[in-house]
Structure 1
Amino acid sequence: MASRASSETSATVGGDRIPALPGLGTTWYRRGPRYWLRRCWTAFGLLLASALLVFFAVSVYRGFTSEWSATARTVSDWVQVAGACVGVVWGWLRQRRDHRRRLLDPPSPAESLAARRGQRSRAPGRVALGRGLALVLAPVLPMVAAWCVGWFAGHVTVREYPSEVGARRWLEAHPTGS
């Protein structure tokens, strides 16, 4: 009988051992309804994160500029709008370039899992740094949030993730899943 851990990291389909990918499990192999449900759930999560990020950024910015004169606030608001428009496009382009680069050398399933574990272990220290950084960036926080929104949008609108391409190549090189 297979252990729970082994069933979470791979599945057998047609004699091939299909590796589980972070965020997609084994649904990437057939790209059926469960796969698209996971992709939609990821997009919804990033949409929610974007909304919260933008709300936070605008709130901090409003608090920062609340004591300014009406003229200075208006000029600053228009600079923020222009900068946010540039930020969205820049974030989108940056993510697409990174995606294209990662498609040229996609990670294997083991590398994808290791990268996911590495992201989780670095998060706590970044939270404390993020709070201080938000205060320093208050005057430009809406532009930073717009860049993140563009990056998120570029991330969820790709046809397939580099981890999927890497897993497909890994399956071609290891047809028995060894």
Structure 2
Amino acid sequence: MIHKPQPGEYAPFANTYVSLVHTTDVLELMESLKDSTYKLFSSMSEQQAMHAYAEGKWTLKQVLGHMIDTERTFAYRAFVFSRDSTELPGFDQDIYMSNTDFNSRSIRELAEEFRLVRASNLHLYNAFTEEQLLRVGIASNHPVTVRALVYMTVGHELHHLNLIRERYL
């Protein structure tokens, strides 16, 4: 079990994500979301997946691509910090989005990529020891524990799933 991080274990802006996780078993939630998020996106038609709720907003394909990018980034940070207390740069979601073309890919391919990235990260997170979970690194100029990154990963997904329900579906 990975205990919920305390506010001092992550940057204040990350509370948006951490506060959305209301369970004592974050890894079980991650496993469940792996399947339900995959099903949500893989059941969309290409036309549905190209929907953006307003001019200048991301399509559902781009939202899923952003979720994959963020999942990889948080997992990489957790991996690095579990082994080495170091500093890693932030990442600008808009720069990442402008340097890829998620809309040219099929929604089923993106959904499968999400599912596989999550499966891989679950193996990583399940292998962390208590000591590793409490290790701290610097990301985006803020200290963050490994366990906070695990919660941020899930909270980020929940945040976007909420936005999808509210604005897209």
Q: Which is higher, the Rg of structure 1 or of structure 2?
A: 1
Do the structures match in fold with TM over 0.5? no
Instruction: Please give the TM-score of this superposition, normalised by the length of structure 2.
Output: 0.34
Instruction: Please give the TM-score of this superposition, normalised by the length of structure 1.
Output: 0.32
More helix by share: 1
Q: Which has the higher contact order (CA 8 A, sep 6+)?
A: 2
